[in-house]
Amino acid sequence: MSINRNSVDSLRLLATCIPAVITFVIVFAVPMVLIFKLGVSTEDGAFSLQNFFAIAGDEYYQEIFARTFKLAALVTIVAVAIGIFEGYYLNGLFGRMRMLVLMAILGPLFVSVVVRTLGWQIILGNNGPISQFLQMIGLAKGPADLLFGELAIFIGLLHMVLPYMILNIWTALMSYDDKTEKAARSLGAGSGTVFFKIVLPQIMPGVLSGALTVFALSMSAFATPALLGGRTTKVVATAVYDEFLSTFNWNLGASIAIILLALNIFTAFFLNKWVERKFKGVFA
Amino acid sequence: MSRFIQNVIHLIIMVFLVAPLIVVVMVSFTPTSYLEIPLNDFSTRWYSSLIANSEFMGAMRNSAIYAAISSLLSVMIAVPAAIAIARQRFPGSVAIRSFLLSPMMVPAVVLGIAFLKYLSTVGLSSTMFGLVLCHCVVITPYVLRLTMAAVGGINRNAELAATSLGASGFTVFRKVTLPLVLPGVISGAVIAFVTSFDEVTVTVFVASPGTMTIPVKLLNHINETTDPLAASASAVLIFLAVAVMLVVEKYFGLQNVFSGKVK
């Protein structure tokens, strides 16, 4: 071991990273710097924070940010609930059955999100099965159109993020020790107590990492809201797209993107802190 | 919760997960010219028009080529770095690791506009080279993470034994280290290929009519019209995905491949 620690070896190890680091400096760091510069300047290139004030004071953008945040939070909460249930269920399956369920959960991840969203467009559209069912049982008079709105975006996003959530929780459950659960049961704890006092704290790291992934994905989702939100129900990512490719106000678009990035980082940070405080000891 | 209720909820979740994909496949066989689930009449006319559509077929070919090149490129730069980083700490290794994983933390839409601005600044906009470079940055974290996980699981005694028997550093790498990390590298490459092939949020900003990829083509098509051509093209993508998934499950195990993608 001590031979490996000399400086010649360190240099050799460092050298193997050079191609990746150089590529990333040129094609990742430089573009990120460019977009930050674009966000904090006026159209003629002078430094200015006017875009941020313009966004903060504009009701149109306030609504878009509020909607995006609300949808992402809702999707995360529902995904956590479903993820815990399904992760637990999957953990109790074995052999062929487990593989089949795993394929159904992971399958959507192999297909482009555009394809999945097209599926929801058909299902929620006015010729779709839900609309026909509602008409059949008499709940809707004409074709029921559930498309183009927050509900449609919510459903699409939930579908997009669910596999990640289930997988994170399932991974946490695989290293879960059921001896404490058995001990609690033998001491007379009910199912509810066992779940909230024993199971949940132990799988909390998985829930947290899943929630962070899912929240970040929902906050910045583009294709799903673009296809299911219609022309009026905008979210942050579609607003950025509009600024860049329709109205060509790149400075404003970059400012919106910077706010999105900052929001994501702050939420991740605070969610982390909150869960760590609440479930002290699990993260040791 | 009784076992019965649990099974019902589980079934609902399963239907929710696969319903959109099944519906797309069903609609792709409609004989009519709108997005509708055919009930008694089936036709492959939308598959014929897909094959006859040079834009869709070209986009599919482009996607396959770009995904192949960018994942190959990504494996070339990520695997050496991953082996070095996962092996031991050296000055800068923690910083390099965070730097190479950081594209995962940046929202795809932010990456997309950053690449758009960058490519137009350096004069690479609308080029295949530029698009492949962008994809390479997006997928490299996956290859890095899966390879690092594979390196972490290696028993170093095999390498030490080879060295003690007189093998040179390169021989040890080629004959011992590489075969041991290969499963990790291959699953990383598969995830990288699939991610690049399906990528839409970054690509929508950097693709041009000449470098159109199939997800972006589909997105634009669905936004303009609602004919079942989108359904047949989507169904083909679903069939391809199922094929890839079956191969992955057979040779590597699905859960292993994705263990690096979650978190």
Chain B: closest CA distance from residue A166 (Å): 10
Tell me: pLDDT of A5 over 50. Answer: no
Nearest to B218 among A114, A171, A222 (CB): A114
- The answer to whether the CB of A16 falls within 8 A of the CB of B84 is yes
The string of pLDDT tens digits covering residues A60-117 is: 888 889 999 999 999 999 999 999 999 888 888 888 888 888 888 988 888 999 999 9
Closest C-alpha among A51, A215, A240 to residue B114:
A240
Residue A126: both structure tokens together: 């006015």
- The answer to whether the CB of A132 falls within 8 A of the CB of A139 is no
Q: What angle do CA B201, B235, B202 make, to 5 degrees?
A: 10
Cβ-Cβ contacts under 8 Å between A and B: the total is 264
Phi, psi of A180 (to 5 degrees): -65, -35
Whole-number pLDDT of residue B261: 40
Tell me: pLDDT of A1 over 80. Answer: no
The string of pLDDT tens digits covering residues B200-249 is: 999 999 888 888 899 999 998 888 887 888 888 899 999 998 888 888 87
In angstroms, rounded to a whole number, what is the distance separating the alpha carbons of residues A41 and A47? 4
In angstroms, rounded to a whole number, what is the distance separating the alpha carbons of residues A105 and A165? 10
Nearest to A118 among B9, B93, B234 (CB): B234
> Per the CB < 8 Å rule, is B20 touching A159?
yes
SS3 B240: helix
Tell me: pLDDT of A4 over 50. Answer: no
Residue A14: both structure tokens together: 């460092």
Q: Where are the beta strands (DSSP E) in B8-166?
A: none
- Tell me how far apart the 2 most distant CA atoms of chain A are, in Å: 80
Supply the pTM of this predicted model.
0.86
CA atoms within 13 A on the CB side of B196: 32
DSSP 8-state symbol, A109: G
Describe chain A by its helix, strand, coil percentages, rounded to 5. 75, 0, 20
Closest C-alpha among B250, B105, B135, B246 to residue A106:
B246
Q: Is B263 on the interface with A (CB under 8 A)?
A: yes
> Per the CB < 8 Å rule, is A34 touching B118?
yes
Query: What average pLDDT score do residues A2-16 get?
Result: 66
Mark which residues 211-240 of B lie under 8 Å from A by CB.
214-215, 218-219, 222-223, 230-231, 234, 237-238
Whole-number pLDDT of residue A7: 62
- For the four alpha carbons of A39, A114, B224 and A119, in that order, the dihedral sign comes to negative
- Name which residue leads in pLDDT, B177 or A282: B177
- The answer to whether the CB of B238 falls within 8 A of the CB of B19 is no
Q: Which amino acid is at B35?
A: L
> Per the CB < 8 Å rule, is B109 touching A260?
yes
- The answer to whether the CB of B23 falls within 8 A of the CB of B235 is no
Tell me: pLDDT of A141 over 80. Answer: no
The residue in chain A having the minimum alpha-carbon distance to the alpha carbon of residue B191 is A110
Whole-number pLDDT of residue B260: 45
Contacts of A262 (CB under 8 A, 6+ apart): none
Please count the other Cβ atoms lying within 10 Å of the Cβ belonging to residue B229.
Answer: 21
The residue in chain A having the minimum alpha-carbon distance to the alpha carbon of residue B219 is A114
- Which residues from chain A sit within 8 angstroms of residue B194, using beta carbons? 110
- For the four alpha carbons of B93, B79, A220 and A163, in that order, the dihedral sign comes to negative
Mark which residues 210-229 of A lie under 8 Å from B by CB.
210, 213, 216, 219-223, 226-227
Measured CA distances, B59 to A230, B125, B203, B216 (Å): 25, 18, 12, 9
In angstroms, rounded to a whole number, what is the distance separating the alpha carbons of residues B190 and B180? 17
Nearest to A10 among B90, B106, B134 (CB): B90
Buried b (16+ CB within 10 A) or exposed e, A62-81: eebbebbbebbeebbebbbe
**What kind and span of H or E run contains B258?**
helix B254-258
Q: How confident is the model at residue A162 (pLDDT cuts 50, 70, 90)?
A: very high
pLDDT above 70 as % of chain A: 93
- The answer to whether the CB of A13 falls within 8 A of the CB of A225 is no
Q: Which residue has the tokens 């690096």?
A: B260
Q: Is A82 on the interface with B (CB under 8 A)?
A: yes
Whole-number pLDDT of residue B46: 81
Q: Which amino acid is at A223?
A: A
The residue in chain A having the minimum alpha-carbon distance to the alpha carbon of residue B138 is A28
Candidate ranges A146-150, A246-250, B87-91, B220-224; pick with highest mean pLDDT? B220-224
Q: How confident is the model at residue A2 (pLDDT cuts 50, 70, 90)?
A: very low
User: Which residues of chain B have a pLDDT value below 50?
Assistant: 260-263
Q: Where are the beta strands (DSSP E) in chain B?
A: none
Domains and CATH numbers, chain B: 55-258 (1.10.3720.10)
Q: Which residue has the tokens 């509602």?
A: A134
Q: What angle do CA B210, B215, B219 make, to 5 degrees?
A: 95
In order, the DSSP letters of A20-69 are HHHHHIIIIIHHHHHHHHHHTB-TTS-B--HHHHHHHH-HHHHHHHHHHH
Q: Which residue has the tokens 């077929």?
A: B57
Closest C-alpha among B216, B49, B262, B93 to residue A167:
B262
- The answer to whether the CB of B263 falls within 8 A of the CB of B80 is no
Whole-number pLDDT of residue A170: 87
Domains and CATH numbers, chain A: 59-278 (1.10.3720.10)
